[in-house]
Amino acid sequence: MSVPERKLPRKPEWLRKKISFTAQKDMDQLLKENGIHTICQEAKCPNISECFAAKTATFLILGGICTRRCTYCNVTTGAPLSVNKEEIDQVTDAVKQLGLKFVVITSPARDDLKDGGSQQFYEVTQNLLNEVPGTQVELLVPDFQANMDSIKQVANSGAVIVGHNMETVPRLYSIRKASNYQRSLDVLQEIKNHAPEGVKTKSAIMVGLGETQDEVVQVMRDLLDVDCKLLSIGQYLAPSKEYEEVLEYVTPAQFDEYKRIAMEMGFEYVHSAPYARSSYMAHEYVGEKHV
């Protein structure tokens, strides 16, 4: 007996975001000229036109191909290319052209590399800090398969924030292929243990996958236990029917409630909203407004 196809709920008004294709096209051209990728493009982020219009972006280093096949993520999977050392200067040149003062750098999972790509994170960050004085850098890193040398390297890269996303609650972790909930917590703990004083850790989760409020609150507790006090909570949106289904469109009121709970628990900054993403408005997490 065949299982009937589940009809997704109608997307509510608060998720109908206007897109400026003109702004996106201009930014696409600039990034193409510099030969670099952004996670904004690869993951089809819903904030892409808003961020591109403001000339902000999260740079994707180590190529655009991921070695894991998570069932919620639109980043291309497969066999990655070799590490491109030219992107160290390419990212710096793009930052100069855009006049950015706060830069977010991330990568796909690179389990094919012994260090998971930590050396590239370090060199890109150091080059930026040396060549563009006054710029602050945030890193959003994979778990490096808990390689301690890699964790220490990104922790001491010069970034003011080093983040690693939990993505979802423990019960739903099967959507994170080759990942482990406790390992992700351990990574955040070790980043904090080995980073210079003042460096903050950050994480993010998606909601709308069938998790309960109690499960979300437990993730918050677990993050505070490893001294991670910056958090982003956003609505999961399936890139296509081939990915995990959206089981719920979480209301803005519920996002407000998550923020209230998290702040009362002891988080320093929480961005909880339908279109919140881990690196969206990233500069606000350090308490500054950058144009």
What is the SS3 string spanning 152-189?
HHHHCCCCCEEECCCECCHHHHHHCCCCCHHHHHHHHH
- 38, pLDDT greater than 80: no
The per-residue pLDDT for 267 is 97
pLDDT band at 1 (very low <50, low <70, confident <90, very high): very low
Q: What is the mean pLDDT of residues 103-116?
A: 91
Tell whether the model's pLDDT for residue 190 goes beyond 90: yes
- State the sign of the Cα–Cα–Cα–Cα dihedral 173, 203, 72, 183: negative
The answer on pLDDT for 150 being more than 70 is yes
Looking at 112-116, 180-184, 283-287, which range is the least confident one? 283-287
- The DSSP bridge partners found for residue 77 are 66
In the predicted model, is pLDDT for residue 241 greater than 70? yes
What local confidence, expressed as pLDDT, does residue 2 receive? Answer: 45
Q: Tell me: pLDDT of 53 over 70.
A: no
Domain 20-282 is found in CATH 3.20.20.70? yes
Confidence category of residue 116, pLDDT binned at 50, 70, 90: very high
| Mean pLDDT for the stretch of residues 172-187 | 92
pLDDT band at 89 (very low <50, low <70, confident <90, very high): very high
Over 50: is that where the pLDDT of 71 sits?
Answer: yes
Pairing verdict, β 161-163 and 102-106? unpaired
For the stretch 186-190, contacts whose Cβ atoms lie closer than 8 Å and that sit 24 or more positions apart, written own/partner, are 186/146, 186/226, 187/141, 187/143, 187/144, 187/146, 187/151, 188/164, 188/223, 188/226, 188/228, 189/226, 189/227, 190/146, 190/148, 190/151, 190/152, 190/155
pTM recorded for the entire structure: 0.87
